[in-house]
Structure 1
Amino acid sequence: MFDEERDHFFCQYSSVELTRSMTDSPRADFDSPWKEALDDYFQEFIAFFFPQIYADIDWNREYEFLDKELQQIVRDAEIGKRYADKLVKVWRKSGIEAWVLAHIEIQAQEETGFGERMFIYNYRLRDRYDRPVVSLAVLGDDRFNWRPSQYQNEFWGCAITFDFPIVKLLDYESRWDELVSSTNPFATVVMAHLKAKETRNNPLDRKLWKFTLTRQLYERGYDREDILKLYRFIDWLLALPEDLELELKQDLDRLQEQQTMPHVTGIERLGSAKVILVQLTRLFGELPSNLQSQVQSLSASQLDELALALLNFTSIEDVTNWLQANPTQQPPWNA
């Protein structure tokens, strides 16, 4: 699988069609939670989906995200809208440096030229960096038989055949018990993804699964930071109507009382931020993504202050001015 005669390789990862349901609130960057999950759990991502590659990487050495180098590829591609998300430098067990390209594609419908696009990214990276490129695809759509894994082109005897490995998230529906028993964070990511699609027209079932997946975060023994990161993903994909979000918050409160779960405080803060965002959206329409991020970054005390201040807001400029006067005290989505 690996070319021992070359010093470097790339790995390209593509995830397509993360389905947004009719009950979801609008998202400015629907692919953001997947990008963040990849950023937070790159090692676990490789281990979960591509164990052969995982076995060839020396994880005792630090890996490095090369965002600036990746942005140059994105600018040079000139092939339409693409989401080339993370370029990562790792080390192989042989001691040789290797580069991994994590390419995330989020789209709402089947793309007939998907294989060609994977090939284009592969050869552009190879051309710029003179490195062999390993291209990987994770398909998140709901068409069971759509499994593009090859690009072919032939003209007057000049032929190209480009094969790349794929993972189909739908295949995990029949492996649910494995997901439940796994402690890899991407098991939770896959479960949330599948339930987001399954409950797109059933908000009550969605609320039940959102509670179940959140409870499992504690049952799996994750630490506080992991719980908050994974809850962010669950919360984003399994968005609920406002009334059901409030009911869910009450359910989580009761769960905390019954099982003494100290980390729920952070999740409660996220719930408060969501309620405030709903209120601001009703007043002024959909907020810009940067303002949403700032609200989500506020501390519990700041959220309380904003809840009172918004009673006097008359325009979105009031929101902007308040946030500028009250800079965030912590990174987004931490308690």
Structure 2
Amino acid sequence: MPNADYDSAWKQAIELYWPDFTELFLLEEWGCRPAPESQDQELAKCSRDSNLGLFRVDKLLRAPGVDGQPYLWHIEIQAARQRGFAQRMFVCQYRLYEHFQLPMRSIAILGDHSPTWRPCRFELAAGNTRTTFDFETIKLRDFEDRLAELLLSDNVFAWLVVAHLFTLRTRKEPLERAIVKAKLLTGLRTCGWTRKKSRDVFDLIERMMTLTHSCRLSWKHSSKFSTGGWKWLGNIYGKSALNSVEWNGVKQGGRQLEKRGGRQLAKRGGRHAVRRAVKHAAKFEAKHVVDWSRCEA
């Protein structure tokens, strides 16, 4: 199974839909505050600073806090347990402060398998001198009991959390991942988003929930992503993209059946696939994703 692309999907989502991020994870309405400014260019200078040494930061933004004062927002996406992670958060905090001289919120998104790994503090002590650094954490596994609720939300990060959790669960089950991925992408139609927003979230989930080459071909050429799903995809990408990507999927699926079981079987299978796809597209509910794939982590 190819490695899931967690980091870039999360980073792009944070850049594009920051108010959704603060609403779901920080329980803060962004309101009329200005959009955050990426500090990637400044961060590149900071990372090359010979006095600070090299260090890596996933996402650094500059935006006002609830009090209107300018903050830095340091966000780390951590998809696996890492020894010394709290120390790394501390090092990033003091090095960034030394460079920018601004107060900073440090937030770690913990998207690993373990339910117990929850670093949130780093401490140093020497005699009566003590340094304590606390940072905010978002443990994605804490959302596992809220999957149905998340799938009924129009918050971008609700859908991204579900995609992340099911990607973890299906890391050794490519066929299960293909089924869940198809249902998630079909379910995006229920959100009522603009064409651009639908396209953005589709691309984020598509990138995160990687499939093996053979499984990807089967997914594209089958009815698991229903006829209604491909029609909706054509609406958000344009008819030309739909025709070039997937609209003939049922026909190609029929050809696969023909190779395996004869022309008549292929025709019957193709007709059945169409009827089934249309039926499920019409009755689709987002919560069905949870029922379809109760995979063990």
- Please report the TM-score for the alignment, with normalisation by the length of structure 1: 0.64
Say if 1:170 and 1:194, in contact at 8 Å, map to a contact too. Answer: yes
- Residue in 2 aligned with 1:326? none
- Residue in 1 aligned with 2:64? 91
* Within-5 A mapping of 1:16-27: 23-24=1-2
Q: Which amino acid aligns with 2:57?
A: Y
Q: Which amino acid aligns with 1:35?
A: K
> Partners in 1 of 2:212 and 2:89 — Cα distance?
37
How many angstroms does 1:255 deviate by?
Answer: 2.2
Say if 1:58 and 1:93, in contact at 8 Å, map to a contact too. Answer: no
- Residue in 1 aligned with 2:26? 50
| SS at 1:142 equivalent | coil
Indicate whether 1:219 and 2:204 are aligned. no
Indicate whether 1:176 and 2:132 are aligned. no
What's the % identity of the aligned pairs?
28
Structure 1 unmatched runs, 5+: 1-22, 273-335
Say if 1:256 and 1:264, in contact at 8 Å, map to a contact too. Answer: no
> Partners in 2 of 1:270 and 1:194 — Cα distance?
31
**Aligned counterpart in structure 1 of residue 132 of structure 2, from 117, 141, 161:** 161
> Partners in 1 of 2:73 and 2:64 — Cα distance?
14
- Residue in 1 aligned with 2:258? none
- Residue in 2 aligned with 1:16? none
- Residue in 2 aligned with 1:119? 90
**Aligned counterpart in structure 2 of residue 73 of structure 1, from 46, 54, 68:** 46
> Partners in 1 of 2:185 and 2:19 — Cα distance?
22
Indicate whether 1:194 and 2:165 are aligned. yes
- Residue in 1 aligned with 2:213? 242
Say if 1:118 and 1:135, in contact at 8 Å, map to a contact too. Answer: yes
Farther-moved stretch of structure 1 (190-199 vs 112-121): 112-121
**Aligned counterpart in structure 2 of residue 204 of structure 1, from 162, 175, 179:** 175
> Partners in 1 of 2:202 and 2:233 — Cα distance?
18
| SS at 1:104 equivalent | strand
Q: Which amino acid aligns with 2:17?
A: Y
Indicate whether 1:31 and 2:7 are aligned. yes
> Partners in 1 of 2:169 and 2:233 — Cα distance?
31
- 1:262-320: CA deviation from partner (whole Å, max 9, x where unpaired): 22658748958xxxxxxxxxxxxxxxxxxxxxxxxxxxxxxxxxxxxxxxxxxxxxxxx
- 1:151-196: CA deviation from partner (whole Å, max 9, x where unpaired): 0111122211111121100111111122112111001111110111
Structure 2 unmatched runs, 5+: 247-297
How many angstroms does 1:203 deviate by?
Answer: 1.4
| SS at 1:99 equivalent | strand
Superposed CA RMSD? 2.8
Aligned length: 241
> Partners in 1 of 2:187 and 2:18 — Cα distance?
21
Q: Which amino acid aligns with 2:9?
A: P
- 1:78-137: CA deviation from partner (whole Å, max 9, x where unpaired): 255x2332323x23455x341332433446x42221111111111122222222222111
